[in-house]
Chains A and B, each alone.
Chain A
Amino acid sequence: MRQCHQLLSCKLKDLGLIGYPEAFSVQKQAVEDVIRGNSQMLFLCEHPAVLTMGRLGREDNILLSRRDLQQKNVDVLRIDRGGEVTLHSPGQIVLYPVLNLNFFGRDLKKYLVNLEQVAIDLLRDFDIVANRIEGQRGVWVGKEKIASIGIGVRKWVAYHGMAINVNTDLNNFEMIKPCGLDVRMTSIQKIRGTEILQETVKEKLVGHFCRIFQLEKI
Chain B
Amino acid sequence: MSNVILPELGEGIEKATVAFWHFRVGDQVSEGDDIVELVTDKATFNVSATASGRVKQILIEEGKPAQIGQVLAVIE
Across-interface contacts of A188 in B (CB, < 8 A): none
**B contact residues around A56 at 8 Å (CB):** 17, 19, 39, 63
A81 to B19, CA, bound (A): 11
> What total count of A-B pairs have CB within 8 Å?
76
Residue of A nearest to B34 (CB): A154
Interface 1/0 per residue, A84-121 and B, CB below 8 Å: 00000000000000000000011111111000000000
Out of A80, A82, A106, A154, which one reaches B42, CB within 8 Å? A82
- Judge if A58 is at the interface, Cβ distance under 8 Å: no
A155 on the interface (CB 8 Å rule)? yes
Q: How far is the CB of A95 from chain B (nearest CB, A)?
A: 14
Q: A80-B37, A107-B11 are in contact. Are A137 and B45 (CB under 8 A)?
A: no
Count of interface residues, chain B, beta-carbon cutoff 8 Å: 23
Q: How many Å from the CB of B40 to the closest CB on chain A?
A: 7
Quick check: is B46 within 8 A (CB to CB) of the other chain? yes
The residues of A that contact B13 with a CB separation of less than 8 Å are 108-109
Q: Point out the residues of chain B lying under 8 angstroms from A137, CB to CB.
A: 41-42
CB distance from B17 to the nearest CB of A (A): 7
Of all chain B residues, the one with the shortest Cβ separation from A105 is B10
- Tell me if B11 and A112 are in contact (CB < 8 A): no
User: B46, A55: Cβ atoms under 8 Å?
Assistant: no
Known: A55-B37, A108-B9, A149-B42; 6 extra A-B contacts, CB below 8 A, are A81-B42, A107-B9, A108-B41, A109-B12, A112-B41, A153-B44
